[in-house]
Structure 1
Amino acid sequence: MSYPFPLVIFDLDGTLVDSLSDIAEALNLTLADLSLPQVDEATVRGWIGEGVRSLVGSALQAAQAKVPLDKVMPGFMRHYGECLLHHPRLYPGAASALEGLHARGVTLAICTNKPSRFVEPLLEHLGVAGYFAAVLGGDSLPERKPAAAPLLHLCTQFGHAPTEALMVGDSAVDAAAANAAGVPLALVRYGYLRGLDPAHSGARWVMDDLQELLRLDTAR
């Protein structure tokens, strides 16, 4: 029997890839440049999900720093690029899920708020770039998640109705985008939920391992 969703769209950080330590390293290098206190990974985890400007803005606000965000971002982006491939890893089950879905003929895509220039190098480094037919970063389109536009763009690109796609994510941003686009949603519990209750997120499936995607009931 064919897979119930011909298009599966994945978030990246917190869903497929654990990049927390590298993001925290880049942020702390940026804070050090400003002679501001360092922050631990648990704190950084609570700031991830809405793009790098939001991340850095949260750090500056927490430090009560008066420096303009626009002046800080170039330094952060430099550190982000330098730290990108230090310690990233695929979450357990991610590689098997991608391989299994690809083998079934499912079209796979990435929709992340990570700056687009950092996405392909990360996927290449982790050995999974070849699985994806399209990659959208946070700056690929005029709107990014939680807007519906990126998901609808991918549906249109591959000729599928929103109900024929599946969004796989880990955050309130992913849930809002999927719900706004009318795209069915699967959430993982291990990412950046930031207080989101998966039971009240609109998700059809909540999972601890992406391999569970291979066992979705074919009844829609």
Structure 2
Amino acid sequence: MAIKALVFDLDGTLVDSAGDIAEAVNLTLEELALPRVSEATVRSWIGEGVRKLMTTALAHANSALLLDAVMPVFMRHYSACLLRSPRLYDGVGEALTALQARGLPMAICTNKPAALVSPLLQHLGIAGFFAHIIGGDSLPQRKPDAEPLLHVAKLLQQPVANCLMVGDSGTDLGAANNARMPIVLVRYGYSRDLDLDAADAVAVIDDMRELLAIVG
């Protein structure tokens, strides 16, 4: 492959933030007088944006509350919990440093609200690696729609086929396939019900440093 740029998902790919997202969901449920859920349950809901996350949480609680009324409550807790305990997955820092040294431009394409991405990257010390950030509310469409990846390829000034998506979920896989962008999946993320071994991906990796041999 002639890879000239990389596009990374964030939660579940670069950053383990499930505990913080779960706490934000549970603080929201508590405020709404609804029962808490396990981190594992919330982990299975992550990846399709905050509105889908809370739609699923309300359905799980059999709540008839309106989503538009709940979202401001959730976003308040989400912002408060953002930097509670996130961590980079093993090998991420080293991989990003090596990719940058090779002169490869990099971007983030996530369904996380855009306003929450930069503070998280700054907190974890990796903001300087990324030339562009596309969040879940940056465009009318979000992953698995193709448009966020098509848009970020234009920002990176590369043909889609020369960009490599790196993600962890069916949402990422769907976006990459819809955009006809090659994708590498990580095995350690929030794959939900995706069969990683059957996925149409360039590779499935256990550590981000494996990406270095794939990019070449």
Distance, in Å, in 2 between the alignment partners of 1:169 and 1:205 is: 11
1:133 aligns with 2:121: no
Which secondary structure does the structure 1 equivalent of 2:83 belong to?
coil
Deviations 1:103-157 (A, max 9, x none): 0000010000000000000000000000000001000011110011011111112
Give the Cα separation in 1 of the matches to 2:83 and 2:108: 18
User: In the alignment, what sits opposite 2:82?
Assistant: 84
For residue 155 of structure 2, the aligned residue among 157, 180, 184 is 157
Letter of the 2:11 partner, please give it. Answer: D
One-letter code aligned to 1:87:
S
Q: Unpaired segments of 5 or more residues in structure 2?
A: none
Kindly tell me the number of residue pairs found equivalent between the two proteins. 216
Identity fraction in percent: 57
Q: CA deviation at 1:217?
A: 6.1
Cα distance, 1:158 vs. partner?
Answer: 2.1
2:31 and 2:169 map into 1 onto residues whose CA distance is 30
Q: Secondary structure at the match of 1:139?
A: coil
Q: TM-score, normalising length from structure 2?
A: 0.98
Q: Which runs of 4+ in 1 moved over 6 A?
A: none
Deviations, residues 77-110 of structure 1 (Å, cap 9, x unaligned): 0000000001000000111111010000000100
Structure 1, unpaired ranges of 5+: none
Cα RMSD, aligned residues only: 1.0
Preserved CA contact (<8 Å) 2:132 2:155? no
1:159 to partner: Cα distance: 1.9
Q: Write out aligned runs for 1:161-180 (5 A).
A: 161-180=159-178
Corresponding letter in the other structure for 1:11: D
Give secondary structure in 2 for the equivalent of 1:180.
helix
